[in-house]
Amino acid sequence: MFESAELGHRIARAEYARREPALRAALLEAQFALGASGRFPVVIVIGGVDGAGKGETVNLLNEWMDPRHIHTHAYPPPSDEERERPRMWRYWRTLPPRGTIGILFGAWHTDPVLDRVARRSDNDTYERQIEEICRFEQMLADEGVLLLKYWFHLSRRDQKARLSALAKDPLTRWRVTAEDWRRFAQYDRFRKVSEQLLRRTSTAHAPWQIVEGLDEHYRSLTVGESLLAALRARLKRTEPVVPVRAAAVVPALDRRSVLSALELDQPLSREQYEPLLERWQGRLNRLSRHAKFRRHSVVVVFEGVDAAGKGGAIRRVTAALDARQYQGVPVAAPSEEERAQPYLWRFWRNLPRRGHFALFDRSWYGRVLVERVERLCSESDWMRAYGEINDFEAELAAHGVIVVKFWLQISKAEQLRRFRERERVAFKNFKITPEDWRNRRRWNDYQQAVCDMVDRTSTDVAPWTLVEADNKLFARIKVLSALTGRIEAALQRG
C-alpha cells in the first residue's frame, strides 16, 4: 500500500517555482467559487507519520487560499465538555458549514490507530472502529460533504535519516525527543496498523491519497493539485448525484401493522391515575439523584401523531426532574446555521452532558417521517437515514447515554375530536394550524412511515416504546414507567 510513496518522489525547485503561482491562483479562484455557491462544505483530513510535512502542508494551504474561510482544527486531549459526550462529538462540532473548507488535523482515525499501535485495543475493537469510521464518512459523503483524505508517509529509512540528521545538528538536536525515538521503534507496527485503516477506509466516495512526505515540493504540489481537481470537479457538477433508486418498501399485504395491533383506548381513571403519577414521578426523581446517574445521561425522543399529547407527556416527565438537570429541545424547522450542516448536526449540538436529560419534542426521526411523506428529501436520503440513525444512537449508547424513544399513537377519530376541541377552546387555539389539517389528510402515508421507522430503528440499545394515547392519563403513566424502567436497567448494569 505504501510502495508508491517510498520511491523518493521529487519535484525540482525550478519546476515548483514554475507551477506554483498558477496552482495558487486557481485554488483561490476555486475557493471563491465554493464560497459563492455555498453548495457544499469541504473536509480535508490530514493523517500520517510525524515529520512527513503535515503541518507545513496545512500552513501552505492556508497561505495559498484565503485563510478567513478555512477552519483548521487540531485535536489535543479532549476538554472536559468533550469527554462528557460521545467520542465523535468533538468532530461534529468542528465540521465546516457549506461554502467553507475545514482542515482536520488528525481527525477521527487518530485515536483508533494509536490505541491499536500501543495495544490498548484488540483487533476486533479496531475493526469495529474502522467500520464505524466507514459509515460515518459514507454519511458525510451522502450529505454532500466533499471529503478529501491525505496520508503523509515516510519510508523507514527516510524517517531514520530525518531523525538522525536532526539529532546530529546542535541547532536542531532539541527537536528530537526520546518520544520520537520510541515512536520510531514502533515504525513497523504503526505502518501495519495504519495500512489496515487505509485499506478499509479507502472508499469510492473518500479514498485516502497517500503522499510521500520526503520532498517539500513534491508533497505540496501533490496535495494542491489533488485538492484543485477535486474542487473543480465537484463545482462543475451542477446536478445533485442521482441516487440509485432504493428498493421499494412494500407495506404488509394484510394491512396489519405494529400500529393497527395497538388497543388505543386503554382504561385508566383519574382516581387510578393520581397515585400512579406520584409514584412514578417519585421513582424517576430518585433515580435522577442517584450517585450512579452521574455517569450517564438520558436522551428522550418524543414523536407521535399530531395532538397525541406529546407536550403533556413531556411536562409530566419534567415535573419529576430538577430544572437544572434537563433541557427541552423543541424541534422545528432548522435554523440557517443548521441547514449548512449534515442533518444530524443539530441533534449532536444538543446532546446533554453527563448527569443531564435532553428531551426532544420531535427529533432526527423527522427525516423518515415528515421529510419522507412531504417529499422534502429524496427516497435514497430517507432510506439511508435508518442506518445513519441507528449508528448515531449506537454511538450514544456506547458512551453510556440512555436513549429512550416514544411514539404516541391516537386513532383518527380521537385526533378529529381533539382538533375540534382545540378550535373551540380559545386557550388551546394556538395549538391547531392549517398544517395539522393538511397532515391529517396524509394519515395513511404517515402511519406507513411510522411502521417502517419502528421496524428499522427499534434496536436493542434504543428500542421504540409505542404508547396507546387515546387516554392521555394512560399514555403519561406508560411514558413515565417505561422511562424509569430503562434508567433503572441501565444503572443496574453500572
481 in contact with a copy of itself (CB under 8 A)? no
427 binds a copy of itself (CB under 8 A): yes
- Does position 70 interact with a copy of itself (CB under 8 A)? The reply is yes
Q: Does residue 7 touch a copy of itself according to CB under 8 A?
A: no
The three state secondary structure string of the chain is CCHHHCCCCCCCHHHHHHHHHHHHHHHHHHHHHHHHHCCCCEEEEEEECCCCCHHHHHHHHHHHCCHHHEEEEECCCCCHHHHCCCCCHHHHCCCCCCCCEEEEECCCCHHHHHHHHCCCCCHHHHHHHHHHHHHHHHHHHHCCCEEEEEEEECCHHHHHHHHHHHHHCCCCHHHCCHHHHHHHHCHHHHHHHHHHHHHHHCCCCCCEEEEECCCHHHHHHHHHHHHHHHHHHHHHCCCCCCCCCCCCCCCCCCCCCCCCCCCCCCCCCHHHHHHHHHHHHHHHHHHHCCHHHHHCEEEEEEEECCCCCHHHHHHHHHCCCCHHHEEEEECCCCCHHHHCCCCCHHHHCCCCCCCCEEEEECCHHHHHCHHHHCCCCCHHHHHHHHHHHHHHHHHHHHCCEEEEEEEEECCHHHHHHHHHHHHHCHHHHHHCCHHHHHHHHCHHHHHHHHHHHHHHHCCCCCCEEEEECCCHHHHHHHHHHHHHHHHHHHHHHC
Asked if 435 touches a copy of itself (CB under 8 A), the answer is: no
373 lies in the site for a copy of itself, by CB under 8 A: no
Binding flag, residue 421, a copy of itself (CB under 8 A)? no
Per rule CB under 8 A, is residue 39 in the interface with a copy of itself?
no
Give the range of 217-225, 274-282, 309-317, 380-388 binding a copy of itself by CB under 8 A. 309-317
Exactly one of 7, 12, 22, 74 binds a copy of itself (CB under 8 A); which one? 74
Q: How far is the CB of 105 from a copy of itself (least distance, A)?
A: 6
Of the listed pieces 73-81, 108-116, 179-187, 239-247, which binds a copy of itself according to CB under 8 A? 73-81
Contact call for residue 239 and a copy of itself (CB under 8 A): no
CB of 222 to a copy of itself, least distance (A): 18
Q: Does residue 430 interact with a copy of itself by CB under 8 A?
A: yes
Instruction: Examine residue 226 and tell whether it contacts a copy of itself (CB under 8 A).
Output: no
Q: Is 318 in the site for a copy of itself (CB under 8 A)?
A: yes
Question: Could you tell me which stretch among 16-24, 59-67, 115-123, 396-404 binds a copy of itself (CB under 8 A)?
Answer: 59-67
Taking CB under 8 A as the criterion, the residue among 9, 10, 24, 69 binding a copy of itself is 69
Site string for a copy of itself, 323-362 (x = CB under 8 A): xx-xxxxx----xxx---------------------x-x-
> By CB under 8 A, is residue 122 in contact with a copy of itself?
no
Q: Rule CB under 8 A: is residue 312 a binding residue for a copy of itself?
A: no
Contact flag: residue 71 with a copy of itself (CB under 8 A): yes
State the nearest-atom distance from the C-beta of 66 to a copy of itself, in Å: 7
Size of the site for a copy of itself (CB under 8 A): 45
What is the b/e burial string over 38-52, where b = at least 16 CB atoms within 10 angstroms of the residue's CB? Answer: ebbbbbbbbbbbbbb
* Binding flag, residue 289, a copy of itself (CB under 8 A): no
The residue from 79, 177, 238, 492 that contacts a copy of itself (CB under 8 A) is: 79
Residues that bind a copy of itself (CB under 8 A): 25, 29, 32, 36, 55, 58-59, 61-63, 66-74, 79-81, 103, 105, 311, 314-315, 318-319, 321-324, 326-330, 335-337, 359, 361, 427, 430
